[in-house]
């Protein structure tokens, strides 16, 4: 945590720097001319469209989905960079293109972003590095901002039922063939007896998954954002779920087929050319994965002002806000929400409130008139950017835009599921425990899900539909 004594009561100083610096470097690479937002009013070129990769632990094989996202005429990273630069200019009172500690403390006047700065554990010296001169450059400050804004793309952790279902399936699947037959379900009590800690001849949720808190880790979820995930943990999980281990002394590997890829697609990372990826090769693959599916998302489309989702190379689509796609044995419903209208509504609303609050019609708001604006979390001094004792309409609008930028500075992929978990299907009396009777009768309970009527219950039979909703986080 940034200490007040380090910056002369600048508890926000560190936070501000972290937030802006991260915004500029959200792409995990240096800022190039291609990254810089255009200033000539022309439409950004296609290369400025942001893309974010998602890995799905589907039943048949892992699926990498690439979302190419445009918000209006630009991507969310450009939006974050512009916000960082605007914030820098607001704080740079000397107009020397550097921020001193005293200037950075003025972030306390900037509303919601200030509270996020306080949560950063790093200090001024962590960002004042190029060079160390007791002031922050735009690039250094951008790293601070990025840290405060958080990851540009995140997956909203779903309920733990899907993870719990996968663990129970693996426990019952005695021959690890990815299918449950009647005998495997019937023998559930014996298979899980070692988990029956209280010896009551039943298996509870807590006994099945005593370390459920670990499942809240992003890498343990069915859907994982590669941008922020620990790739080493992902490698271990991919090999454990889909790979092959010949003996305890050998490390696991994944074939192209197990990854859902052709031998040609894995050739660039298969350095020993054996048709398999070991842990080191898999780690390199995750750095630059080959997507199985690419989804173009406009939130909204700049021409139609409507939200659109399109599967690249998929069936012809009218560009609606909903898609249904097959991903490795899952049927996934994709939805997109447009929240850009919130910003437009907010600015229009405060234009009207400004006219009402300006009682003497002198075209600016005085301190005694300011409460009538009812700007949440703001004081007169926070909005009065030039300290002239007057708040004009432009200052109000810029303040509202900045607050909206903070609130809508990242993409969120919400996950929900349309089917009960395997545990819930077997737990017929709903007591959150599986008794011997429920295992004996379990196959009969699951037969209705056996879509190909082969007497075997696969992960695909149990998968149901996942619903993924892409939106700008509020």
Encode pLDDT of 99-155 as tens digits: 988 888 777 656 566 666 766 666 778 888 888 899 999 999 988 888 888 889 999
CA distance 127 to 19: 11
pLDDT at 15 > cutoff 50: no
- How many residues are recorded in the chain? 474
Sequence-ordered list of residues with C-beta below 8 angstroms from that of 32, at least 6 positions apart, any chain: none
Domains by residue range for the chain, with CATH: 4-37+77-150 (no CATH), 340-407 (1.10.238.10)
Of residues 233 and 73, which shows the higher confidence score? 233
What pLDDT band is residue 285 in, cutting at 50, 70 and 90? very high
Calpha distance 150→30 (Å, rounded): 18
Q: What SS3 class is residue 131?
A: coil
Spatial contact of 131 and 9, defined as CB atoms under 8 Å apart: no
- Cβ neighbours of residue 467 under 8 Å, at least 6 residues apart? 332, 333, 335, 415, 416, 417, 418
Q: Spell out the residues 6+ positions from residue 455 whose beta carbon is closer than 8 angstroms to its own.
A: 181, 182
pLDDT at residue 126, as a whole number: 83
The reported pLDDT for the residue numbered 108 is 62
Residue 245: what pLDDT?
56
In DSSP terms, 308 is beta-bridged to 298
Evaluated on CA atoms 170, 173, 179, 183, the torsion sign reads negative
For residue range 252-265, what is the model confidence (pLDDT) as tens digits? 899 999 999 998 89
At 162, is the pLDDT very low, low, confident or very high (cuts 50, 70, 90)?
low
416-439 pLDDT, tens digit per residue, is 876 677 888 888 888 888 999 999
pLDDT at residue 450, rounded to an integer:
80
Per mean pLDDT, which range of 61-65, 120-124, 320-324, 373-377 is the poorest? 120-124
pLDDT, position 25: 38
Residue carrying the six token digits 């011997």:
436
* Distance (Å, whole) CA 287 – CA 266: 13
Global model pTM greater than 0.85: no
Answer yes or no: is pLDDT of 94 > 90. Answer: no
Query: What's the mean per-residue pLDDT of the chain?
Result: 78
Of 20, 150, 19, 112, residue with least CA distance to 404? 112
**Whole-number pLDDT of residue 145:** 86
Read off the pLDDT of each residue in 381-393 and give the average, rounded to a whole number: 86
Residue reference for tokens 């989804």: 295
User: In this predicted structure, what is the pLDDT of residue 22?
Assistant: 38
pLDDT in tens, 31-87: 333 333 334 333 434 446 789 999 999 989 999 999 999 887 778 888 788 888 878
Q: What is the largest CA-CA distance in the chain?
A: 84
Tokens of 327: 């991903």
- CB of 470 closer than 8 Å to CB of 321: no
Percentage of residues of the chain with pLDDT beyond 90: 24
How confident is the model at residue 65, as a pLDDT? 97
Q: Which residue has the higher pLDDT, 145 or 7?
A: 145
Residues 6+ apart with CB under 8 A from 297: 67, 68, 69, 70, 307, 308, 309, 310, 336, 470
Q: What is the pLDDT of residue 203?
A: 85
At 165, is the pLDDT very low, low, confident or very high (cuts 50, 70, 90)? confident
């Amino acid at each position: 945590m940034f200490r007040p004594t380090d910056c002369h009561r600048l508890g926000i100083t560190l936070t501000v720097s972290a937030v802006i610096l991260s915004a500029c470097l959200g792409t995990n690479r240096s800022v190039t001319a291609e990254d810089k937002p255009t200033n000539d009013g022309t439409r950004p070129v296609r290369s400025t469209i942001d893309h974010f990769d998602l890995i799905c632990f589907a039943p048949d094989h892992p699926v990498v989905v690439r979302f190419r996202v445009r918000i209006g005429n630009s991507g969310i990273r450009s939006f974050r960079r512009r916000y960082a630069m605007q914030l820098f200019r607001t704080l740079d009172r000397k107009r020397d293109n550097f921020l001193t500690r005293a200037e950075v403390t003025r972030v306390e006047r900037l509303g919601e972003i200030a509270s996020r700065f306080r949560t950063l554990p790093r200090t001024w010296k962590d960002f004042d590095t190029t060079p160390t001169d007791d002031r922050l450059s735009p690039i250094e400050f951008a790293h601070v901002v990025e840290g405060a804004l958080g990851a540009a793309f995140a997956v909203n952790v779903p309920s733990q039922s899907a993870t719990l279902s996968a663990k129970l399936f693996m426990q019952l699947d005695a021959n690890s063939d990815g299918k449950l037959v009647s005998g495997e379900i019937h023998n559930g009590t014996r298979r899980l007896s070692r988990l029956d800690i209280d010896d009551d001849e039943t298996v509870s949720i807590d006994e099945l998954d005593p370390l459920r808190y670990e499942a809240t880790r992003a890498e343990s979820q069915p859907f994982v954002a590669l941008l922020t995930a620990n790739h080493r943990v992902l490698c271990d999980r991919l090999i454990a779920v889909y790979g092959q281990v010949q003996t305890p002394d050998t490390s696991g590997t994944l074939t192209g087929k197990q990854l859902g890829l052709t031998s040609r697609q894995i050739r660039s990372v298969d350095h020993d050319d054996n048709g398999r990826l070991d842990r080191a090769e898999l780690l390199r693959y995750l750095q630059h994965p080959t997507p199985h599916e690419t989804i173009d998302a406009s939130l909204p489309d700049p021409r139609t002002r409507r939200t659109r989702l399109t599967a690249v190379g998929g069936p012809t689509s009218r560009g609606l806000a909903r898609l249904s796609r097959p991903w490795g044995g899952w049927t996934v419903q994709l939805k997109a929400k447009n929240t850009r209208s919130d910003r437009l509504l907010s600015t229009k609303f405060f234009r009207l409130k400004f006219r009402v609050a300006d009682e003497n019609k002198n075209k600016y708001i005085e301190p005694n008139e300011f409460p009538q604006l009812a700007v949440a979390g703001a004081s007169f001094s926070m909005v009065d950017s030039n300290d002239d004792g007057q708040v004009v309409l432009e200052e109000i609008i810029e303040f509202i835009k900045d607050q909206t930028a903070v609130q809508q500075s990242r993409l969120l992929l919400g996950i929900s599921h349309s089917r009960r978990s395997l545990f819930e299907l077997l737990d017929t009396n709903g007591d959150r425990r599986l008794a011997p009777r429920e295992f004996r009768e379990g196959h009969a309970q699951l037969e209705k899900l056996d879509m190909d009527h082969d007497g075997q219950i696969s992960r695909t039979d149990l998968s149901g539909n996942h619903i993924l909703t892409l939106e700008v986080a509020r």
